[in-house]
Each structure stands twice: as C-alpha cells, then as structure tokens.
C-alpha cells in the first residue's frame, strides 16, 4: 500500500496540479477485504502492467501481493486505481 500511495504522490499530479488520493478498506461478508488506493490524477497508460513498470516499487507490488495471498486488480477510475483483495482474519467475533 505504501508504494501505491507514494507513487500517486509522485506521478498523479504533474506540474503542481491538485487532486485527491484515497485509501479505502472495504470488508465483505465472505471474509474478503478489499483495499483500494486511487487518485484523481492523470491515470495510467493503456495496457499498463505494474510488473513491467520502470518503477522498481511498482514492479514489487505484484510480488508483495502474491506473498500475502492477495489479488491485485487495476480498477477503472478517473485516475490510477489499484485494488488488493485478500482474506481478512480478525480476532474475536467481529466480521467484515
């Protein structure tokens, strides 16, 4: 998540542009949580793949995603949008 937020700060709003970066965590009834990092910036080039990026940090995002047993999706939005879906384990009786 840190790399996605850092990348948004660096690249989403060139030339001093303004916008919004959002980090949202959503739980669903099947125990899967979804962590979404998105911005209102310039977006990603068509056919963008993190593992083929020139950014070492973005190249590592798919690796970290795999290590935590999550699934990475590039979602649609006005800017860049990444979503990690993973099984959430909570102690106690709370459900997501």
Give the pLDDT of residue 84: 93
The mean pLDDT value for 38-64 works out to: 84
DSSP codes joined into one string, 13-41: SGGG----EEEEEEE-TTSEEEEEEEESS
CATH code of the region 1-9+19-42+53-96: 3.30.565.10
**Structure confidence at residue 94 as a pLDDT band (50, 70, 90):** low
Indicate the pTM of the whole model.
0.80
pLDDT in tens, 7-40: 888 889 988 889 999 999 988 768 899 999 999 9
pLDDT at 29: 65
Domain boundaries, the chain: 1-9+19-42+53-96
pLDDT over threshold 70, residue 78: yes
């Amino acid at each position: 998540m840190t790399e996605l937020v850092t990348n948004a700060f660096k690249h989403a709003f060139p030339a001093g542009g303004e916008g919004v970066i959002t980090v949202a965590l959503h739980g669903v009834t099947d125990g899967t949580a979804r962590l979404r990092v998105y911005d209102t910036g310039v977006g990603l080039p068509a056919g963008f793949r993190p593992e083929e990026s020139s950014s070492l940090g973005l190249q590592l995002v798919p690796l970290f995603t795999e290590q935590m047993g999550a699934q990475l999706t590039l979602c649609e939005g006005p800017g860049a949008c990444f979503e990690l879906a993973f099984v959430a384990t909570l102690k106690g009786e709370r459900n997501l």
